[in-house]
Structures are given as structure tokens and as C-alpha cells.
Amino acid sequence: MVGALGIVFGDIGTSPLYAMRECLSTTAEVDPGLAVMGSLSLVFWALMWVVSFKYITFVMRADNHGEGGIFALLALIEQKRRSHSKRIGVTVFVILAGAALLYGDGIITPAISVLSASEGLEVLNPNFAPLVVPVTCLILAVLFFFQKHGTATIGRVFGPVMLVWFAVLGVLGLIEIVKNPTVLHALNPYYGLDLLRHDPRHATALLGSVVLAITGAEALYADMGHFGRAAIVRGWYCVVLPGLVLNYFGQGAWALANPSSKVNPFFALAPQGPLQFGLVILSFLATIIASQALISGTFSLSRQAIQLGFFPRMSVTHTSDQLEGQIYVGFMNWAMAVGSIGLVLGFKSSENLAAAYGIAVTGTMSVTTFAFYLVARRSWGWSLAKALPLCAGFMVVDLAFFGSNWHKILDGGWLPLVVGGVLLAVMHTWKTGRTHISDEIYARTLEPELVIEDIRQNKIYRNPGTAIFMAGRPIGMPIVLLHHLKCNRCIHETVVLLSMVTDPDPSVPDDKALELTELGEGFWRAIVHYGYMQQPNVAKLIPILMARGVPIKERSLTYFFNREIIIPGGRAPMPHWQKSLYGVLSRNARPARDYYNIPANQIVEMGLAVHI
């Protein structure tokens, strides 16, 4: 549970830094008493409905062998459609849109979290105001720079630090509540509804501020595979929820006592002097941890997209010998670094940056509800009468929060939409292009029996040694083998047709990972299954094949690949711009030899012109 505090709850745990301040800023023209009580009521019930009821009670039960997240929902839905077309339908497109929006959230969260903590310097001393932006950029640069070293060492202190953080949140809030216990009346949802009814013109803006208190809810589900549902549930109800509620109500009590103050109520909870300085330092640590959690989550999301065929191959580095989930994706890391630091330089304050925050996460929440409904109906067999009312209730709240953020588009909300749109175009283009090439190019091949029969009739000369031909499809003869035969009219004594297949499961047990079939005349077909959370490694496969009886001679082993040369102008069902984009993605994708961990000095690549 303590470990989960450091990874899973970092995002939602740092929301008190800015959420209540934004709510009070939005309701500045309303009576201070009504504004505080109504805002508190809305924040409390948003936490209870969205986090406790929707995610903790229901959505987190939709796990794929313990793994959560939007791609886990997609895998659960697709498991019932394995025999159907692999082309992208409406359902998959909507879920991909939700995943793409998460990348926008991944850029904004580090920026707004660290920036809001840096603004504590201004509370300590107004003369520190010019340092806020440079300090934020420096912290973000250091944070992203150290990603390549992994988080194994730092991760050991994440949990205890966040435990202290939530304890401090609760204690500071409780002190103010004791001074003004009437603030507890805001537990009544009437106050929230009364505020919305009293000022309907600003209701949309108010909900857009309230949603800042629940922006980390999606992370609870996405990171479920790291610690399991039980640890997250215990952490939420025993530590996180009490700490958040006490702090929000403490901020409300302080705001009631100081209605004309413009100071961030969060930092005002601590007495001036060493305690307030300590709170600022602790805020820095908490926001760094929150940023780290989301950065790591983005790496994990990227790897899942690659394995499921929605992203081109990228370099994925494992930073831990013990934990499979600790990875580093260099391209994504530096893209997020540039995006986050650019946001800080462009928006300059967390108040301005809050305008860009919310659209991405509320859009993903709505997509999660849609996907959860399909899982409940298709995978769990729920009746329409059981699934529809529940999911409709979730969707009404999700769409209310999503719609409340649309007024932010011109003020910065366009940013996560643009980021999401670009990534959605990339995912759709890559999947569509790969599907077309697989169906139209690699499906046209010969049956193994025809080649084997020519060998029996001594029409093909046999060379000593072993050849492994990488086959994109686990049927027929791979095109690279046919090209080899056409050019050389010879083949090795031992031939392995190797296909790497990603299953819609997070991992595949070792005893089910390899399907091996002897085809005769020294030919073998090996089909290796791995999950979307696993990294393929052909080098480690060779000893397993040898133990299963394949007569491989490692010193004379050669791997054969096709190197695709993409030429637009074919019959692929894609517009011209998408074909050009696919060509760019294909040329810049990580080479297959590196992605599959194959020794570079044992590879032969043969060009294959592909018209799309």
C-alpha cells in the first residue's frame, strides 16, 4: 500500500495545490460563504462519485490479468473479436482517441504540478517571484534527464514521502476545521447544487475548476498492474481520501475566515516561518513524484501501443533487472520534456496553465466509461438493464465535466487536443498501413509443402548452418525466404520460420509462449507469443529452441529480414497524406533487429518494395 502511494496517487494527491484556489477564483463574484461551501461540496462529491464509486468500485474490476488502463479495456473487448476484421472500427477508434488524450495529460501534469509547488516560493517571499519559472524549468529538466537511469532507487523513497505528504495534508486541514467546524456542513450536496443554481452563468467554469481535484483518477486504473487492486483500494480509503478531504475542507475553513485574501489557501494553512518553508519543500518533492508517476505511465502506455501494433517500433530500455514495468522510452521522454518546459515558459503560472488542464483527462474518463460498458456487456455478460443505467450515470457526470472544459479551448485547452489529434493520426495511420501490408503483401505466399517437395527432389541445394527467417504471419512461407530462394537457389540445412505474435494479454506464461512444429526436411515453424507488457527477445529464444530439439548451430546462425521500402500510390484505403505519413513513420521506426534484440553481425536484410 505504501508503494502504491508513491506511484499511483501522486497526481491526484497534489491537486490540493491548485484545485481549491481555482474554484474560489472562479466564484469570486459570488457571496464568499456560498462560494466556499458550494465549491467544497462539489469537490467532495466529485471525489466520491468519480473516484470511489466509478473507478474504485466498478472500473478497476475490469482488469486484464491484473493489468488496468485504457488499452487493457481494449484488449478485453478485442478478445471477443479475435476472428473478426483487424481493421479499425468505431469502437477501437474511440478508445484510441482516449489513449491519445492521455499523452496531452502527460505533458501538462509535470508542468502544472512543479509550477504550482514553485509558486510557494512567492508565498515565502514576494521577492522570489522572478525565480518561479526558472526554478520550475530547472527541476523539470533534471527530472527528465534522470529518466534514463530508471526509478528503482528513487522509487524506494516515493511511498514514505507521499505517506508523509498525505499526513501533513490531513493535519493542516484538521487544524483549520477545528477552528471553524461549520465548514463540515459542505458534506451536504445541497450546497454544491445551490451554488450551481445560484450562478448558472459561471456553472460551466466552476465545474471546469472542480475537475482539477479528480485529474489523477485515471492513473489509479492505469497503474493497477503495478500493485494490484487491493493495495490501491486500501491506500485510497485509509490514507489518500481522508488526507484530501481534510485538506480541502481545511482550505475552505481558512477561506471563510479570510474572504478577501488572494493568497493560495493551500500554503496559507501552514504558519509563516520554518513550517511554511518545510511545506514548500515537501510540495516540491510531492510534485516531482506525481510527475514521475505520470511520465512512467506514459512510457508504459507507449510500449503497450507498440506491442499492440498502434505505434511504430521505438527504442524501449529496461532500467531494472527485477521489475519488468520499469522502462525508458527515449523519444517520448524528450518529447514530453520539450512540451512540459515549453508550457511553463509559455503560460508562466499554474493559474494560466490550469486553463489547458482538464480537457484531456475528462475526455479519457468519458472514453473509459464507454469502454467499460462494452466490457460489461460483451465480456461479463451483463444485461442491458444492469449495464446501461450504471454507465449512463457515469457518462452524465463525465460529459458534464468534459463539456465544462470546452470554454478553456481558446485559453490553452487546444493544446492537449492538438497533441491527442497528432498521436491519434499516428496510431490510426500505422495500424491501417500495417493491416493493409499484412493482408495484401505478406498474405500472398507459398505453402511450405511446395518448397519442401522441391528439396526432396534435390531441386534446391542445402548449405550447412542454420537460417532463421522472420515471418510476419505464422502461415505459409515468408516472403524473405522466397526472395532468398529466387536469388540463390539454395537453403540452409536447418530452417526456422519464426513469427512473433502479440497476444491481447499483458503477459504470456513461459509454458505457453512457444509453439514449435517440425515441417520436415530440416524445416521448423516457431510461433512465439508474448503480451503487450513484455519485450520480445529473440536472442533468449535460441537456447529454448535448442532444448526443444531444433538442431541450431549458433556459430553459423543467420537471421533473414525484409526491409520494407514504402512507395505511395498503391491501393491502400488511405488518403495520400496518410500514405506519406506512413512512409515517414516506417523509415524512422526502430530497426526490427534492434527491437527483437538480434545480434547485428548475424543479419541479412533483403529489400521489399511495398506499394500502399
80-91: burial string, b at 16+ Cβ within 10 Å, e else: eeeeeebebeee
Verify that 110 and 228 share a domain, yes or no: yes
Please give the pLDDT value at position 155: 58
In three-state secondary structure terms, 609 is strand
Q: Which residue has the higher pLDDT, 324 or 164?
A: 164
SS (H, E, C) 560-581: EEEEEEEECCCCCCCCHHHHHH
Kindly state the percentage of the chain with pLDDT values over 90: 33
The candidate with the shortest Cα–Cα distance to 317, out of 611, 535, 98, 562, is 535
**pTM value?**
0.82
Kindly indicate the confidence band of residue 467, based on its pLDDT and cuts at 50, 70 and 90: very high
Of 379, 411, 434, the residue at which a domain comes to its end is 434
User: Taking 70 as the threshold, does the pLDDT of residue 586 lie above it?
Assistant: yes
The boundaries of the domain holding residue 405 are 2-434
Answer whether residue 218 is part of any domain. Answer: yes
Mean pLDDT score of the chain, rounded to an integer? 86
Q: Which residue has the higher pLDDT, 36 or 288?
A: 36
- Residue 540: what are its φ and ψ, rounded to 5°? -75, -15
Verify that 418 and 496 share a domain, yes or no: no
Please give the pLDDT value at position 320: 60
- Residue 305: what are its φ and ψ, rounded to 5°? -65, -40
Q: Which residue has the higher pLDDT, 587 or 42?
A: 42
Instruction: Give the CATH number, domain containing residue 419.
Output: 1.20.1740.10
Verify that 120 and 176 share a domain, yes or no: yes
Of 416, 434, 452, the residue at which a domain comes to its end is 434
Answer whether residue 182 is part of any domain. Answer: yes
pLDDT in tens, 23-41: 998 888 888 899 999 999 9
Verify that 448 and 351 share a domain, yes or no: no
User: Taking 60 as the threshold, does the pLDDT of residue 407 lie above it?
Assistant: yes
The single residue listed with the C-alpha cell 520554518 is 274
Answer whether residue 331 is part of any domain. Answer: yes
What is the grid cell recorded at 76? Answer: 478485453
Verify that 460 and 562 share a domain, yes or no: yes
Verify that 581 and 459 share a domain, yes or no: yes
Report how far residue 361's alpha carbon sits from residue 358's, in angstroms, rounded to the nearest whole number: 5
Answer whether residue 163 is part of any domain. Answer: yes
Among the listed ranges 228-237, 251-260, 518-527, 565-574, which one has the minimum average pLDDT value? 565-574
Verify that 118 and 180 share a domain, yes or no: yes
Exposed/middle/buried for residue 570 (C-beta within 10 Å: 0-12, 13-18, 19+): middle
Q: What are the angstrom distances between the C-alpha of 286 and each of 21, 33, 114? A: 18, 31, 9
Q: Which residue has the higher pLDDT, 8 or 266?
A: 266
575-611: burial string, b at 16+ Cβ within 10 Å, e else: eeebbebbbebbeebeebbebbebeeeebeeeebebe
User: Taking 60 as the threshold, does the pLDDT of residue 209 lie above it?
Assistant: yes
Q: According to DSSP H, which parts of 180-273 are helical?
A: 189-198, 203-210, 217-222, 224-227, 229-235, 241-257, 265-268
Of 434, 454, 469, the residue at which a domain comes to its end is 434
The single residue listed with the C-alpha cell 519442401 is 452
Task: Assign residue 309 a region (left: φ > 0; alpha: ψ between -120 and 50; beta: otherwise).
Answer: left
DSSP 406-459: GGGGGGTTHHHHHHHHHHHHHHHHHHHHHHHHHHHTTTS---HHHHHHHHHTT-
How many domains are contained in the chain?
2
Verify that 345 and 489 share a domain, yes or no: no
DSSP symbol at 381? -
Verify that 398 and 463 share a domain, yes or no: no
Answer whether residue 439 is part of any domain. Answer: no
Pairing status of strand 523-530 against strand 514-520: antiparallel
Verify that 426 and 477 share a domain, yes or no: no
pLDDT in tens, 537-572: 888 889 999 999 999 888 889 999 888 888 887 888
Verify that 452 and 406 share a domain, yes or no: no
Verify that 44 and 192 share a domain, yes or no: yes
Kindly indicate the confidence band of residue 166, based on its pLDDT and cuts at 50, 70 and 90: very high
Kindly state the percentage of the chain with pLDDT values over 70: 95
User: Taking 70 as the threshold, does the pLDDT of residue 522 lie above it?
Assistant: yes
DSSP symbol at 385? H
Pairing status of strand 490-502 against strand 514-520: unpaired
Answer whether residue 207 is part of any domain. Answer: yes
Tell me if 159 sits within 8 A of 5, measured CB to CB: yes
